[in-house]
Structure 1
Amino acid sequence: MENATWSANVTSVCKLQADFQYSLFTIIYSAVFVLGLLENGAALYLLTYNVLKTPRSSTFLVNLAVVDILFACILPFKIHYHFNHNNWVFGDAACRVSGCMYFLNIYLSIAFFTCICVDRYVAVLYPFAYIRIRSPHYRTVAVVLWVVALSVAGPLVLGGPLHSTENKATLCFENFGTSSWTGRMVPYNVCALVFGFAIPFAIILVSYPLIANRIAHIPRSAHKRKALVTIYLILLICVTCFLPYHLTHLLHFLMRAGVIQDCAFAAFIYKMRRVTLALVSFNCCLNPVLYYFTLAAQKWRWPICFRKRKTLVYTICGGGQGGEYTAELREITALRQGQSK
């Protein structure tokens, strides 16, 4: 009861304020909106236009680009909200959709990062098993991840109130009551921290050093640098964007639940949460760099051709999906040659 009372009065007693957040969110979200929409729009166009020429594992990259574009589309609402000192004027439905899309971007991005990690792990350590994996398997995994994410977000969108009123301003996804933090928000926070971040991050953290170690022993491989850069980029995005956010989110959850009762520490957590909320959105701008390095070996073909004449070369393959595996077979062959040495 003491924890609940302290948590209910935490804002007034400890003066949890971060006035810098209004300009911080406005500037960061504006930059992410412009860069993220342009970068991911171009990446999605290239990935889908060259779908027959890109590796089958690019399915995860396509879905990652879609998630980032959807996230960028809700940012103008967030920019208006923070520019007007956290006053939401777009109604309850828009608040629910934009808030849930914000968290879907975080956890679907981590999920697709994990899928890319597992894909590279199998390709490097079990190349012959990797060859037997078909494109429908990738699409099935992507659909399952979307269904699970939307199923989790559904009750949150359709549940109780997600906005509140404070100082004549309408807040969206902020300052939930004590009953929410110790009740309906508990399963969401636990699932997000454990299944949404801790387990995927552990898979990435354990698998990628193993992959890097195996690749490092391959001499003069054309795919060695690309694979290593892909590994380091995903680790960089996770450590820079997602790890700080989840650490402060855990502390913020403990503070709101009344476990952390030191006012100075609570004020620090409140400010750091604002910083990490802005920082996590940068994954939308960093992901297109990952697309470039992952598919750097591909020769992109634009629909606009400035040459007067164009020569078409057709290749007849023995199997219906022969062209689909060309890039991956080259990579696996290089990896096997390095392992045999």
Structure 2
Amino acid sequence: MNDSIDCNPRADFQIYLFPVVYCLVLVLGFLGNMGALYVFIFKTPCSSSNVYIINLALADTIFLCTLPFRIHYHLKGNDWVFGALACHIIGTLFFTNIYISIAFLTCICIDRYIATVHPHAYLRLRNTRCTQGVSLAVWTVAGVAMLAFILAGPLDSAPTPGHHSHRSCFENFSQREWETRMTAYNACALVFGSLVPLSVIMVCYPLVARRIARIRTGTSRRALRIIHSILAITAICFLPYAVVHLLHLLMRRQVIQNCGFADAIYKARRLTMALVSLNSCLDPVLYYFTTSHCKWGFFRRLRLKRPRRVYTISS
């Protein structure tokens, strides 16, 4: 959730950056996630880890459904025309599904960690009821948080910097909002939505890598590829977003008051929001490494059959 302070920072490049990035993410992400849902639901045997993959693909798909509204908003010069309620719902879905994606990436990382480092315990825990329960808990917590946020009422936004007649949506919140609701919401999102899960991923990675260095099997190598994919997605998409989110919170609470820093944080916030959206089209790389059932054989079936050549012997 992104805003400005009295220094009135600006990031005019965002009206070009967001539509381009969001259109790219929408096309690639929709193809990748819909393909993953088809493969993991209909073409892959049900397993505990696949339950997390399906839920991650579903969260990404919901996130992608919000992008057409965000694209229209930015193409209109950050002017929201769909009404306050639609802004509240779309904005809440947009940001909440970022944290749902982080949660399920963390679940996959923990699943691979247990399977690799504690294989005997994993045999007892790998039933789908356990992963279904964890997945339900993630969606329940996210749903309750979203509902509480929406029922709390509309948010008061200041005019868009440089465009005072435009209607802001889920950005440029007034100082009064930051003194009441927004500080608590952002602090909770930062700690429980970013800091805790990202710390778990960073801890699991070296432990799994060290274990796999001693056991060289196909399963362990695939687990390492999965962990590498999660680490890459975390480093590219979520880590910069979390760091700038912290700085943004400090700026809004006026811990950081230097106008030069405020302007840099405002611009960095826009860049990291574009980066975090890439998660939805990078996750299919993770899906590819998760199971052999969706490797090249799946894509070969999409190729047109080549007509056979018929040779005749002239007399």
Judge same fold: TM > 0.5, yes or no: yes
Cα separation, 1, equivalents of 2:4 and 2:248: 15
Which deviations, in whole Å up to 9, do the C-alpha atoms of 1:155-192 show, x marking residues without a partner?
Answer: 21122323636211111001111121122112211111
Counterpart in the other structure of 1:48: 41
- Distance, in Å, in 2 between the alignment partners of 1:91 and 1:231 is 42
Residues 4 and 252 in structure 2, CA contact (< 8 A), matched pair in contact too: no
How many angstroms apart in 2 are the aligned matches of 1:122 and 1:189? 31
* Equivalent in the alignment of 2:226: 230
Structure 2: distance between partners of 1:163 and 1:39:
37
Instruction: Report what 2:213 is aligned to.
Output: 216
Where structure 2 has 5 or more consecutive residues not aligned to the other structure, the ranges are 306-315
- Give the percent of matched residue pairs that are identical in Structure 1 and Structure 2: 48
Q: Distance in 1 between matches of 2:14 and 2:271?
A: 8
Q: How does 1:1-341 map to 2 (within 5 A)?
A: 10-11=5-6, 14-51=7-44, 53-133=45-125, 134-162=127-155, 164=157, 166=159, 167-219=164-216, 221-296=217-292
Aligned-pair distance for 1:64?
0.4
Q: Given that residues 245 and 276 in structure 1 are in contact (C-alpha distance below 8 angstroms), is that contact kept between their aligned partners in structure 2?
A: yes
> What's the C-alpha RMSD, in Å, of the aligned pairs?
2.1
Contact (CA 8 Å) 2:51, 2:131: kept in 1 or not? yes
Kept in 1: contact 2:43–2:293 (CA 8 A) = no
Deviation of the 1:229 alpha carbon: 1.2
Summarize the Cα distance change of 1:41–1:262 in structure 2 as closer, same or farther, 3 Å threshold. same
Farther-moved stretch of structure 1 (184-193 vs 144-153): 184-193
> Would you say the 8 A contact 2:116–2:220 is kept in 1?
no
**Change beyond 3 A, Cα 1:259–1:228:** same
Deviation string 1:115-164 (CA, Å, 9 cap, x unpaired) is 11111111112212211121111111101100001111112112232363
Alignment match, 2:309: none
Q: Which amino acid counterpart does residue 214 of structure 2 have in structure 1?
A: H
Gaps of 5+ in 1: 1-7, 308-341
Distance (whole Å) between structure 2 residues aligned to residue 15 and residue 181 of structure 1: 16
Give 1:9 shift: 8.9
What is the deviation of 1:54? 4.4
CA distance in 1, matches of 2:294, 2:18: 37
Q: Give the Cα–Cα distance (whole angstroms) in 2 for the partners of residues 273 and 82 of structure 1.
A: 15
Secondary structure class of the residue paired with 1:132 = helix
State the 1:223 CA deviation. Answer: 2.3
Q: 2:39–2:294: 8 Å Cα contact kept in structure 1? A: no
**What's the secondary structure of 1:264's corresponding residue?**
helix
Determine the C-alpha separation between the residues in 1 that align with 2:298 and 2:258. 58
Q: 1:104 to 1:198 in 2, by over 3 A?
A: same
One-letter amino acid of the structure 1 residue matched with residue 267 of structure 2: K
Q: Per-residue displacement from partner, 1:277-297 (whole Å, max 9, x unpaired)?
A: 111000000001100011135
